[in-house]
C-alpha cells in the first residue's frame, strides 16, 4: 500500500518547496495539484471541458507559475464540475507506489482525507508576498493584495474550501529557513512511518 502525504496551505508559504524536497528525500512521486487548476485556467475556453480533457503535457506549460495563472486557477477552482473532473486524477496519483506527496489547498480535507501524514504550511501574509514578489520579479504590495484576494476566495468557496485538516500538523514558515522547514517535514514523515 502506498504512503500518501498531503501538504496544504496558502500560496507562497513554502508547501511546494517542502513537498518537492520531501518527495526527493523519501523516493516518492510529487504532484503540485495547483498546476492542474493553473493549466485549466491557462487553457482558456470552457473550464469544465478543459479539466475533462487535461493532458499531462498541459502541466509543462511555461506560463503556469505566473500571477495571472494563479488568479485564473483560483477562479476555475470554485467550479464544482472542474473540481470533480480533477479529483479522480489526483486520487489515482496519490496511490502511486511506494508513496506520493501531493501539495495543494484541499488535499488533506478532500482529495486524500486518509493520507498517512497531513501538513498545513502557512506564513504571514507579508512574508508570503515578499517571497512571491522575489520569485516573479513583481511589486510586493500588488502581490500582497492578490494573495489576500485569492486566499479569501479559496477559503470561502462552497466546494473544498482551503482549511487545515483536523489532524494536520500545522507549522508556520515565516521565520524558518527552508532547510529547517524541510527538516521538520522529514521528521514528521519518519515519525508517521515513511
Residue with cell 523516493: 27
Mean pLDDT for the chain?
A: 92
Q: Is 41 annotated as a binding residue?
A: no
Q: In the chain, pLDDT over 70 holds for what percent of residues?
A: 99
Q: Is 104 annotated as a binding residue?
A: no
Q: Is the pLDDT of residue 142 over 70?
A: yes
Cβ–Cβ under 8 Å, residues 111 and 33: yes
Q: Is 70 annotated as a binding residue?
A: no
68-116 pLDDT per residue, tens = 888 888 889 889 899 889 998 899 889 999 999 999 999 999 999 999 9
Q: Where along the chain do its domains lie?
A: 3-191
Give the residue from 111, 52, 44 showing the smallest Cα distance to 75.
44
Q: Is 12 annotated as a binding residue?
A: yes
Q: What is the mean pLDDT of residues 119-133?
A: 95
Cβ–Cβ under 8 Å, residues 70 and 149: no
Q: Is 13 annotated as a binding residue?
A: yes
Give the residue from 44, 34, 46, 38 showing the smallest Cα distance to 69.
38
pTM of the model: 0.86
Q: Is 10 annotated as a binding residue?
A: yes
Q: What is the pLDDT of residue 1?
A: 66
Pick the range with the lowest mean pLDDT from 70-79, 137-146, 183-192.
70-79
Q: What superfamily in CATH does domain 3-191 come from?
A: P-loop containing nucleotide triphosphate hydrolases (3.40.50.300)
Q: Is 9 annotated as a binding residue?
A: yes
Q: Is 73 annotated as a binding residue?
A: no
Cβ–Cβ under 8 Å, residues 115 and 6: yes
Amino acid at each position: 500500500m502506498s504512503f500518501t502525504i498531503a501538504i496544504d496551505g496558502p500560496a507562497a508559504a513554502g508547501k511546494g518547496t517542502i513537498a518537492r524536497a520531501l518527495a526527493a528525500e523519501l523516493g516518492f512521486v510529487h504532484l503540485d495539484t495547483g498546476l492542474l487548476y493553473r493549466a485549466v485556467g491557462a487553457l482558456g475556453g470552457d473550464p469544465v471541458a478543459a479539466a475533462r480533457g487535461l493532458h499531462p503535457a498541459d502541466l509543462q506549460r511555461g506560463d503556469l507559475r505566473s500571477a495571472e495563472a494563479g488568479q485564473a486557477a483560483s477562479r476555475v477552482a470554485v467550479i464544482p464540475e472542474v473540481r470533480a473532473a480533477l479529483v479522480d486524477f489526483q486520487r489515482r496519483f496519490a496511490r502511486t507506489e511506494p508513496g506520493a506527496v501531493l501539495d495543494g489547498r484541499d488535499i488533506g480535507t478532500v482529495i486524500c482525507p486518509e493520507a498517512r501524514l497531513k501538513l498545513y504550511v502557512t506564513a504571514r501574509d507579508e512574508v508570503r508576498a515578499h517571497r512571491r514578489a522575489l520569485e516573479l520579479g513583481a511589486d510586493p504590495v500588488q502581490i500582497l493584495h492578490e494573495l489576500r484576494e485569492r486566499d479569501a476566495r479559496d477559503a470561502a468557496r462552497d466546494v473544498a474550501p482551503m482549511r487545515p485538516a483536523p489532524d494536520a500538523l500545522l507549522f508556520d514558515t515565516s521565520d524558518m529557513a527552508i532547510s529547517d522547514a524541510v527538516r521538520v517535514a522529514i521528521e514528521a514523515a519518519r515519525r508517521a512511518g515513511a
